[in-house]
Amino acid sequence: MISLDPQQQSARDWFEGLRTRICAAFEAIEREADSDAAFTFTPWDRVDESAGPEGGGGGVQGLLRGRVFEKVGVNVSTVGGRFSPEFARSINGAGDDPRFFATGISLVAHMANPHVPAVHMNTRYLRTTKSWFGGGADLNPPLPQPQDTDDFHAAFRAACEAHGQVADYPKFKKWADDYFWIPHRNVHRGVGGIFYDHLESDFEPTFAFTRSVGEAFLDIFPAIVRRRMSMAASEADRAAMLAYRGRYAEFNLVYDRGTSFGLKTGGNVDAILMSLPPVATWA
């Protein structure tokens, strides 16, 4: 068990509390669809004896397969240890000292109805020789609806504008557009959102903004799900969704830095790869 200072503990507590609230909100939607689907939670431990008392930690993988949410994973983790020398050079502040601490929440939802957008959200707190928050959320509709896109962006614009001393919505929106890009397909992964990393201002204002990102997600995404989950869908709509999921999987396996970070720091493989859709097609 790694020992946490007050800042590390408060970040961990927030991420775990947000996980509990999101899971409850998603289960409530399943009940509205006459489904008794519920999350199963699987704890996992990480061992890094090379780092002494600062090494180790673990997390909990939450997974639900239901009538509305075909597959949704909501994971939390708190880990510490040492990066490999090669990987340390790619991490902010770890080039000269490979020790690290990380805590966060990561969520990916793949929906049963093609009219309900898939979604990704994660926020995290990392410490090396530097200390920062990162994360964001992005909407991934197989069949985009302008209203959903506009409402999703408006929610995160408001979150940024409420914390203008540390958050920059135009910058974070462009960051998401640039990051969630599939070069070999020459397309975006979805319709964007916000993305930020290495937010190194004082702990309290950056933590407050990161909490607002979580609140914005919890406010807007369930509303979008309820708006679309009862819409009729054709076989052509489902075929479009499965083809889109193939692109989603390609991005996460080839380009996503979070996937790479988890695999290279000894995280739980099942939790890391929960972002992959349950079914996908390729032409």
Candidate list 115, 120, 153, 188, residue with the active-site label:
120
Asked whether residue 283 carries a pLDDT value surpassing 90, the answer given is: no
The pTM for the full model equals: 0.92
Provide the pLDDT confidence category of residue 142 given band limits of 50, 70 and 90. very high
Per-residue pLDDT tens for 41-74?
A: 999 998 766 655 566 889 999 999 999 999 999 9
153 catalytic, yes or no?
no
Give mean pLDDT, residues 88-109.
Answer: 88
Asked whether residue 204 carries a pLDDT value surpassing 90, the answer given is: yes
Asked whether residue 234 carries a pLDDT value surpassing 90, the answer given is: yes
Give mean pLDDT, residues 155-179.
Answer: 97
Sign of torsion, CA 135 141 142 146?
negative
Q: Which is the CATH superfamily of the domain at 6-275? A: Coproporphyrinogen III oxidase, aerobic (3.40.1500.10)
- Residues 6 or more apart in contact with residue 221 via CB below 8 angstroms: 109, 119, 121, 137, 152
Domain boundaries, the chain: 6-275
Distance CA 85, CA 124 (A): 22
**pLDDT for 50:** 61
The mean of the pLDDT values for the chain is: 93
**pLDDT for 3:** 85
Distance CA 16, CA 101 (A): 16
Provide the pLDDT confidence category of residue 10 given band limits of 50, 70 and 90. very high
